[in-house]
Amino acid sequence: MTTPPGPNPYQGGPNPYQTNPPTAPTPAQQPHQQPPPGWPGYPPYYVAAQRTNGLAVASMVLGILWLYWIGSILALIFGYVARNQIRERGEAGGGMATAGLVLGWVGAGTLAAVMFFAFFLNMRY
């Protein structure tokens, strides 16, 4: 393969967009090979991302879906189990487990209210 005629743009040269002549870099502008003393360097390892607890996700999803109150009961069960696992294992997902618990209790409360009113209205007539 042949190179195109003319100056090679990768070898440097005058910058047509520069209005001032190039000057030598000052000591503050020169690149450093190592960080200054006392500065921490980059760690030689990567930190693994924290895993999200699967039961916490299931608890939140079932709390949102309700599924004729079966989802609410399962959201409560999965939410409490997930919170214990998160505490023991140090996993992520505590907020999702809490959201599943709140939604599960809202669904269970709604179920209790519906059952109470259904029983109360049935006794009245």
Of the listed ranges 45-59, 64-78, 88-102, the one predicted with least confidence: 45-59
> Is residue 104 pLDDT above 80, yes or no?
yes
Mean pLDDT across the chain = 80
Identify the pLDDT of residue 57.
97
Handedness of CA 84, 86, 89, 90 (dihedral sign): negative
Neighbour tally for 96: CB within 10 Å:
22
Most confident of 4-13, 21-30, 104-113: 104-113
Identify the pLDDT of residue 107.
94
Identify the pLDDT of residue 13.
59
Identify the pLDDT of residue 49.
81
> Is residue 84 pLDDT above 80, yes or no?
yes
CA distances from 54 to 15, 49, 72, 74, 102 (A): 57, 15, 17, 14, 17
Identify the pLDDT of residue 10.
59
Q: What's the mean pLDDT in 95-122?
A: 93
CA 28 to chain centre: 39
Identify the pLDDT of residue 18.
55
